[in-house]
Amino acid sequence: MSMLTNTLGRYFAGRFVVAALGVFAGIFLLLVLVDYIEMVRKTSGLASASALMVAETSLFRVPQLLEKLTPFCMLIGAMTCYLALSRRLELVVARAAGISAWQFISPALGSALLIGVIATVAYNPMSANLRELSKRMEAELFGSAPGGGIQDASGFWLNQVTSDGQTIINAARSEQQGVRLTGLTLFRFDTDSHFKERIEAREATLESGHWLFKSVRRFSLDSPPIDQATMEIPTTLTEAQVRNSFSTPETVSFWQLPSYIRSSESSGFATAGYRLQYQKLLAQPFLLAAMVMLAASVSLRFFRMGGVQKMVLSGVGAGFLLYVLSKVTEDLSKAELMHPIAAAWLPVVVGGLTGFLALLYQEDG
């Protein structure tokens, strides 16, 4: 019986992993196609935009989008796996051999935990690095002219005050969490808050004690525009302050989050978003396991008994409700109305207990 259980366990685990990776690959290709079409639309008026570079930019943007859909990939993959096993009567044979539902679910739970660990410690840093690379490629596509070419509606805003006066900086895109900016527009004021000049620049890099701007065009009220190759503007901002201002929790890798939390606390910035992201990544393996439990509770019904379509729809609906719960707790945590640990782990507990109780009722009720 032990040898039979181990053999069936490896078989069920392999079927689950293949189904989950198949769903993952299908959604990945769909996202790449949609994002590529959108990028082609945005770059249709740029002569310097090659099809290969646009495709690479879309390809590097998608992994971070797909990371948010990983729990649903597990849910659909597990449902697909167990429905296929039920259709081919393999679950009937396993039950006839004395294998309980808990025994042929446990391999998928272990596989989901392993996939979650890999997604947290390896896939998350990779997706964050690829997102930074895609930002750099977007800057090359859209930032070839002073002013940055195509700019976002709001972009990124930064206000700094020095002994020379006040400078308001607007950047269309941010790289390296704000250390490098592209598509810039600056508004400079003197110490009496009187307007001095407006500056457009292709890119800017934060260096020690100053911003270095490139491809600069300066506009003032009493003189024609002036073009400069480079320009330096003093600043009292440090790299840590700029990174904490420009970076979002989703663009910081798992291994860098603890240092970002410490630096944000020392600089007086809010840390709720970083703490929530860190706890969500820690909880990700258990969330994937909860999704498998939820999928198993609606996918183990035999086809001959009917009602499979309703159970599948109920599983999809339960996954959607769990997503809504996670968004609500996330918003509450970012508003500092809920502790990040509770916000990150509550969907895991709710999803896991729901699937566990449903399975307990079906198998032993």
Let me know whether 198 and 329 are in one domain.
no
pLDDT, one tens digit per residue, over 295-342 is 888 877 665 555 667 777 887 888 888 888 998 998 898 888 889 999
177: domain CATH number is 2.60.450.10
pLDDT, one tens digit per residue, over 28-37 is 999 999 988 8
The CB-side HSE value for 230 (13 A sphere, CA atoms) comes to 5
Whole-model pTM: value is: 0.76
Let me know whether 3 and 99 are in one domain.
yes
Let me know whether 116 and 185 are in one domain.
no
In a domain, 261, yes or no: no
Between the ranges 65-79, 92-106, 253-267, where is the mean pLDDT highest? 65-79
Domain membership of residue 287 as a residue range: 1-143+269-362
In a domain, 250, yes or no: no
Let me know whether 200 and 277 are in one domain.
no
Let me know whether 232 and 302 are in one domain.
no
Instruction: Please enumerate in sequence order all residues whose Cβ is within 8 A of that of 63, keeping only pairs 6 or more positions apart, or say none.
Output: 123, 126, 127, 130, 131
Quick one: which of 21, 20, 24, 75 has its CA closest to 321? 75
Quick one: which of 2, 4, 20 has its CA closest to 114? 20
In a domain, 294, yes or no: yes
> pLDDT grade, residue 287 (50/70/90)?
very high
pLDDT mean across residues, the chain: 82
Higher pLDDT, 90 or 154: 90
Alpha helices in 168-226 (DSSP H): none
Task: Give the mean pLDDT of 140-146.
Answer: 57
In a domain, 260, yes or no: no
Is 32:59 a contact under the CB 8 Å cutoff? yes
Based on the structure, what is the number of domains in the chain?
2
Lookup: tokens for 149: 């070419």
Let me know whether 27 and 86 are in one domain.
yes
pLDDT, one tens digit per residue, over 168-202 is 888 887 777 678 888 889 999 988 888 889 999 98
In a domain, 264, yes or no: no
Task: Give the mean pLDDT of 85-94.
Answer: 77
Higher pLDDT, 137 or 293: 293
pLDDT at 221 over 90: no
In a domain, 254, yes or no: no
Let me know whether 107 and 159 are in one domain.
no
